[in-house]
Structure 1
Amino acid sequence: MTSIRINEARVTQILQDLVRIPSVNPNFEGGVPERDMADYVEAFLSRLGLASERREVRPDRPNVIGILPGISADAPGLLLEAHMDTVQIANMTIDPYGAEIRDGKLYGRGACDTKASLAAMLAALEWFVENGIKPPVPVYLAATVDEEVNFLGVLDVLESGHRLAAAVVGEPTGLHAVVAHKGVVRCMIETIGVSAHSSKPEEGVNAISGMMKVVHHIDRTMSERLQGAFHPLVGRPTLSVTEITGGVAPNTIPERCLIKIDRRTVPGEDSDQVWREIQEELTRFAQEDGTLKLIVHPPFVLDYAMDTSPDSEIVRLVTAKAAEKIGEVRTHGVPYGTDASKLTRVGIPSVVFGPGSIDQAHTKDEWVELKQVALAAEIIAGTMLAFGK
């Protein structure tokens, strides 16, 4: 049996390089395209002598897909996928790009979510090349854009034409295996009133007052109706009002009010159908009220729940290799979403796995334990070596 040992200092160096490259998603304040991150990954793969494909998902926002050939060259491959974008850096209490190391932890934006996973994957590829070892099947490493907003990167991977048997999707899971997570439907709801001077409110129709009825219906009726549903790994579906805007001046009856809602779906629910049900429910509510005028806008985010069988080869291998390093490994579900749901939806069994804790993701002092990053690299390499045998 081949022994896999990956140098922690080397993985740390890769992670420091990645954290020092700003890659805040352009949809957030202070965001930049992921181009510089893609340049780094592309150069890394080139140095290893591996072929790679640069795919412009949006201007200056490319995916990079590297290919490590396998013994069975024509077999469907194993995908290693990790996103390059991060959330915003506002209000951070550390240098977001300093990649400072203290007490065995590396600090910086994206250190945990999810540049640590990407660093582990790159280090695993490097180990195979430097040791002259081929995995049983081809391994594709996809460094993707836009996971934090619209999942454009992973959707582009599905259009790349590569035949994929399974996937490891990098996210901070503490080296445990996530096999299920929720989906999400986010949309805007708008109430329409009639503007008037606030000294004569009877001459107008207050859109904010109308929205109060809508919010009450969402919180008391639609949300409570979901309490009967339950998934053993991810819990209950939820519905929340998350933003509200309305009015133009303190002395004007508002003619517009807008809310955003977040509906989390569970495995077994279809997000498209959930969206249609929301639209139908609120349209019917307005008609029954008789005074409400509202618009339910199409979703600006629509994603699907993910559910992979714990008995699938990729889950069994990842959990077995992780157990060799950390002992007991949990196979569980989480309430947040990942790129994995897009892969499982088209029949690619996927496991979400990586170093770090979701509790550190997006925080003001984001960090990851370096020992975990090195262990993740060894676990991923072990999975690559065993998958498809």
Structure 2
Amino acid sequence: MNFEHSELSQQYLDKVSEFMQTKVLPKEAEILAQNRKINEHGDWRQWQVPTAAKALKQEAKAAGLWNLFLPDSELAQGLSCVDYAPLAEAMGHSLIAPDIFNCNAPDTGNMEVLYHFGSKAQQEQWLKPLLSGEIRSVFGMTEPDVASSDATNMAATIEDAGNDVIVNGRKWWTTGLGHPDAKVAIVMGLSNPDAEKHQRHSMVLVPLDSQGLTIDRMLRAYGDYDAPYGHGEMTLDNVRVPKENVIMGLGKGFAIAQGRLGPGRIHHCMRAIGAAERALKLMIERGQQRVAFGKPTIKLGGNLERVAQARMMIDQARLLTLNAAWKIDNLGVKQAMTEISAIKVVVPNMLQQVVDMALQVHGGGGMCDDFPLAGFAAMARSLRLADGPDEVHMGMVSRLELAKYKPKQR
């Protein structure tokens, strides 16, 4: 396995890193402050994208630093998972950066679904405007009334109605639902109840202005609405859409999800590694600058050991993630299931530990908005649920491991 950056990847990494240092980070505090002001607004329908963020997106697009996640040389830059991984890490240094490069979730996953599984008509109507940044999208999977850690529990229904399908159900923690440019949801629901367990569900494109679709509220995550994206709850009450909006056909939902979540987990994890690198940097800088009891705080209370622990954990997590990316590129998602599940446990837990170390060194400063650490802490804890809880991923790893030692049939 070779994790060395390709020439193409290195070229883009240099450009992304420079853009981050000269454009994004200098504007980070301003944009985050505007987002917090938006958060204070009681009506999510009044949310707007900060002007500075819009300007940065146009600059990134003009510089060719756009849709870097998509492995297509015509629609994007043709980068593999391994090639894109260091770019995602560079973007992870700031909570606002992925959006600036049109590389933010859930849009990246939705674009990958449409790219790999969408019909020509679906790609024309939805993929192209998503790639251009004209619209945003959401992914409706998690539900409030069932244990969504088991996705087969999904209670929302997609009923075959001749030329149409009718969608009913409730979805929540639907990221991006409050964004002013959000136009379409990919909704997953039960369509074939009598089929085999993983062939019962489908994914369908539902325009957010469809009759019967109601956005009920935005949910606070650790006290934050995460404006202008938001995490919303929506009700679908006899929402009728053309059957052409079903992606790949009824009963294909889990097959699509497996393809969607593989590369997307690489993206999440590499961004988290970037956040951990920045947290470690801030920890060291703060510890060297502040003095207590006659010494720099970095030399007090076991902090030097924590620096070493952070360095080792970050590098281990990066290698594990690159290993998963290499397997996806060279062997396919199905042959990388152990590694994909493993990184979804290892990396968010690593980020949570590293950020907690950095918070401790920052004292009260780490708890407020003067530093990005509180945001990173919320990100880390959220990631341990967002793509499924740790226990589900560890269950997958253990099943695959036990299968290697299954007794041979005599």
> Given the two structures, how large is their TM-score scaled by the length of structure 2?
0.26
- In terms of Rg, which structure is larger? 1
> Given the two structures, how large is their TM-score scaled by the length of structure 1?
0.26
